[in-house]
Chains A and B, each alone.
Chain A
Amino acid sequence: MATIADAQQITATGPIIEAKELSKRYGHFVALDRVSFSLRAGRIVGMIGRNGAGKTTALKAILGLTSCEGSVRVFGLDPARQRNALMSDVCFIADAAVLPRWLSVEHAIDYVAGVHPRFDRKRAEAVLATTNIRRRSRIGELSKGMITQLHLTLILAINARLLVLDEPTLGLDLIYRRQFYDTLLSDYFDKERTILLTTHQVEEVENLLTDVLFIDRGQVVLDATLDQLAARFVQLNVATGKIDAARELKPFHVRTLFGKTIMLFEDRPAESFAGLGEVRTPGVADLFAAKIQAAAP
């Protein structure tokens, strides 16, 4: 059987996740429709999509939690068949509220420390000491925000090479969300590690992502690095009287905000916008909304 050490040879050059033609149906509902994408090491990838777009199914396929048509490789291994070999290198939070209510905080730490060879107990305890979570509490006694905090603390203290987070900050208030993303960036992330996360609060993560993957109705709508976004997409705040001229450049999305017309363009040479208005790089959230609307039938 292939091991992680073998797989490292692969990842040194190739992608750490490679999904090809993934498809999955639940009855008549198509969750994934021939989705292909790949992830390189040392990236923070935001998988962005509406509820039911197929994000969670894609994550489950990567984690070997569901079977799909097509192929997926994580560190060169098939997660559906070689899940056991993968799990010490891959960490995930599938849903923040799944820590068992009967478990005490202390025992949760004991358990992860006992079964996970890469868990750094001191680090988890240090982080926990900065919170209001008491060690003797049972998880059932904690607030939802605290449970999420505890779960994140446990997972972030694991030195895994791939971290998969499905809506990690759901149910957390703004301060905790900020803290969480700061921790993720400053303490956890380095060039060796890869983070794949889904969220619908796009604004909060766009500054920390290196890559985005837009998914809608089971299909990849956009797969790009943030640098590529800046090169490929242009937001034009159209100057008065230039609307018709700008329309000639065929924007893929037009909206009007406070009387101003805002257009989004893809793959247009920068010089073509001269004199038409203010040119910017669109925000990820705006781009996402525009792409989804443009893709709508």
Chain B
Amino acid sequence: MKALLIEIRREFWEHRALWMAPLAIAVVLLLAGAVFGHAWLDIHDGHGLQDGDGLPHLYQLVLLGWAVPFYLAAAILASAYLLDCLYAERRDRSILFWRSMPVSDARTVLVKLLVGLVIVPLGTYALAAVTSVLASAILVLRNHGLLIGHGLLINAPGVIPWSTPAWLQMQGYMLYGLSAALLWYAPLAAYLLLISVWARRSPYAWAFIPPVLLVIFEHLEFGTNYVGRILDGSFGELLHLAYRFDAAGAGASVQLGRGAQQLALTPLRLLASPRLAWGLLAAALMIAAAIRLRRYRDDS
């Protein structure tokens, strides 16, 4: 356990952006919140909110909006990390030092997968959750009145921006969504690790150009798009599998705002999806290949 912790810390020593960038985002957003002090939402149908019933749900939209920059950053950071980590140790030849330690290749690769696929996203999620409390506190303190009209909502004392059940429910939804995304994007993470351990130079080019060329080739040659559909890590399909949206409304954001209870979690539907199963199988194979490559390749 002690060894695992130090191996994880090692990754954050090397790739400092993994913790510095989310912290920087948190600081910037909190400062912005403290200076401007309002949550702004574009509401097309504000009438239903005046009774206050819908306000906790609007608050949940604020929470989602707060978390989005963090999640985007986590996705970019984790991808860049996974693509670089096993390439960097060969580039600076430090692999000879790492491999002189009693840490197996399988363990090294799996720790990097753990960091990129689980720890960075979950850590960023936790940071977004904690800072959303601070942001809510800032909103409460700066709060001076409720205005609904001309599509703008500014929060009001006593109604929002704090509702413990709404906060907990939204964090639960997001944590669930994040866990689903981890499984869903595991093959992408494994692919990036495999390219990282395999590429002799420019892992970025190797990661992106061949799949794009393959899709173009298929389109020109056969006029089909099977490869594209396989490679497309469709976020829409993930949402469709992981959640059920019941409400029929004007726009997606308003549906969520009108009632998060209309949003059902469908983990079984996701877990039963053949696409997820194939994806996880592909991930396992690519990780096994990455371990083998690190183990047996001799180009130091």
A residues lining the B interface (CB < 8 Å): 60, 65-67, 83-84, 87-88, 91-95, 97-104, 107, 110-117, 151, 155
Contacts and interface: CB of A to CB of B under 8 A. Distances in A.
Contacts, number: 69
Contacts of A94: 96, 100, 300
A238 to B, nearest CB: 48
B92 A101 contact: yes
B3 to A, nearest CB: 5
A88 B3 CA distance: 13
Nearest to A86: B102
B5 A114 contact: yes
B44 to A, nearest CB: 50
A100 B94 contact: yes
Counting from the closest, the 10 A-B pairs by CB-CB distance are A114-B6, A100-B94, A87-B102, A94-B96, A88-B102, A66-B298, A84-B104, A98-B96, A98-B93, A98-B97
B69 to A, nearest CB: 27
Given A102-B13, A102-B14, A114-B7, A67 B101 contact: no
14 contacts: A65-B99, A67-B298, A84-B102, A88-B102, A94-B300, A98-B97, A100-B92, A103-B13, A107-B13, A112-B101, A113-B6, A115-B7, A117-B102, A155-B100
Given A65-B99, A104-B13, A110-B6, 7 more contacts: A67-B298, A99-B97, A100-B14, A115-B6, A115-B7, A116-B101, A151-B97
B2 interface: yes
Contact of B296 (A60, A67, A95, A99): A67
Contact of A93 (B10, B94, B100, B295): B100
Nearest to B3: A115
Interface of B: 2-3, 5-7, 9-10, 13-14, 89, 92-97, 99-104, 295-296, 298, 300
B93 A95 contact: yes
Nearest to A118: B102
A65 B298 contact: yes
A151 B7 CA distance: 19
Which interface residue of A91, A97, A104, A115 has the most chain B CB atoms within 10 A?
A115
Contacts of A115: 3, 6-7, 101-103
A181 B14 CA distance: 32
Contacts of A100: 14, 89, 92, 94, 97
Contacts of A99: 94, 97
A13 B298 CA distance: 33
Given A84-B104, A110-B6, A115-B103, A95 B96 contact: yes
Contacts of B96: 94-95, 98
B111 to A, nearest CB: 11
Given A67-B298, A94-B100, A98-B97, A103 B6 contact: no
Contacts of B10: 107, 111
Contacts of B95: 98
A67 B6 CA distance: 30
Name, among B97, B101, B103, the residue most crowded by chain A CB atoms within 10 Å (CB to CB): B97
Contacts of B97: 98-100, 151
